[in-house]
Amino acid sequence: IPRIGTILYIDINAYYYAWSLHCRYFDLIGLTFAQGKHYAEENCSDYRQFGIVAVLFEMIPFINLITPITNVIGSLLWACDIERFKEPLRHPRSYLLSPSPALIEQEQTDYGRTEYEKDKISPPNYQDTIHNNIYPSAPSIEKQ
């Protein structure tokens, strides 16, 4: 049954596709995987509506060459609207202020990385780049 199967495919994948587009946003604001999932579940209808349109456009031949890019841009604009207009108690950052114990997972602070892996890699600070010239292609700075 081609029509019913297509509708079911779009409906099943819509929520998860929209949520996957916001995973990086949740990571950048410091939410754990469980906190991001909880926020997406609380706003399930918004994620489903965005995902239905996004998945539907990705199924149209020739248009689907540009829709992955436009879907990412749309999710970024949506994240900007969340940052700008969401009331404080409904904002994703409110989970950082008072997370419930059910949303906190041990050793996981963002999507896919553990606390240990995150501590191992740290970018050089500004003083290191100036005084030690850690980037060999950069011109040397004469010390006075």
Residues 6+ apart with CB under 8 A from 133: 140, 141
Q: 103-144, pLDDT tens digit by residue?
A: 555 444 555 555 555 555 555 555 555 566 554 554 555 554
- Strand 113-114 and strand 108-110: the pairing is antiparallel
- List strand residue ranges (DSSP E) for the chain, in order: 108-110, 113-114
pLDDT of residue 85: 74
pLDDT of residue 107: 46
pLDDT of residue 16: 92
Block mean pLDDT (10 aa), the chain, length 144: 86 92 87 84 91 93 92 91 72 62 50 52 54 54 54
pLDDT of residue 125: 56
pLDDT of residue 29: 83
Does pTM top 0.75 for this prediction?
no
Strand partners, 114: 108
The phi and psi torsions of 51 (rounded to 5 degrees) equal: -65, -35
